[in-house]
C-alpha cells in the first residue's frame, strides 16, 4: 500500500517494481480535493486512464486489464 500526496496543479510519477505475480488488484481511494485523472501503466504495455471524482473509490483487476489489452478506462 502507498499514499501519494499531490499539491494543486502538480504531476507526479510513482513506480512499483518486483510485484509478486499473486498481486492482482489495484485499489484507488481518492481524497478531497483529489485527483482528476490517474494513469495506470502495467508492464510498460497496458495503459488505463482513470477519471476520478473527489472521494471516489475504484478497484481494478490487473489480469482483466492485461487480457483486454485496452487503453480505455475500465468500467469497474
Reported as a single tens digit per residue, the pLDDT across 27-61 is 889 989 888 888 888 777 777 888 999 999 999 88
Q: Is the pTM of this model over 0.85?
A: no
Residue 1 lies inside a defined structural domain of this protein: no
Q: Domain residues for 53?
A: 25-68
Count of domains in the chain?
1
Residue 8 lies inside a defined structural domain of this protein: no
pLDDT given at position 68: 46
pLDDT given at position 54: 94
Residue 62: its H or E element: helix 62-68
More confident residue, 69 or 28: 28
**Residue 16: how many other CB atoms lie within 10 Å:** 8
> Which three cell numbers, joined as nine digits, stand for 9?
496543479
Residue 3 lies inside a defined structural domain of this protein: no
pLDDT given at position 71: 38
Question: How many whole angstroms from its chain centre is CA 48?
Answer: 7
pLDDT given at position 76: 38
Amino acid at each position: 500500500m502507498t499514499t501519494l500526496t499531490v499539491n494543486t496543479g502538480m504531476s507526479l510519477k510513482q513506480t512499483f517494481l518486483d510485484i509478486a505475480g499473486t498481486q492482482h488488484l489495484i485499489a484507488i481511494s481518492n481524497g478531497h480535493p483529489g485527483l482528476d485523472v490517474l494513469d495506470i501503466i502495467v508492464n510498460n504495455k497496458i495503459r488505463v486512464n482513470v477519471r476520478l471524482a473527489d472521494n471516489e473509490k475504484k478497484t481494478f483487476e490487473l489480469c482483466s486489464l492485461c487480457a483486454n489489452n485496452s487503453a480505455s478506462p475500465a468500467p469497474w
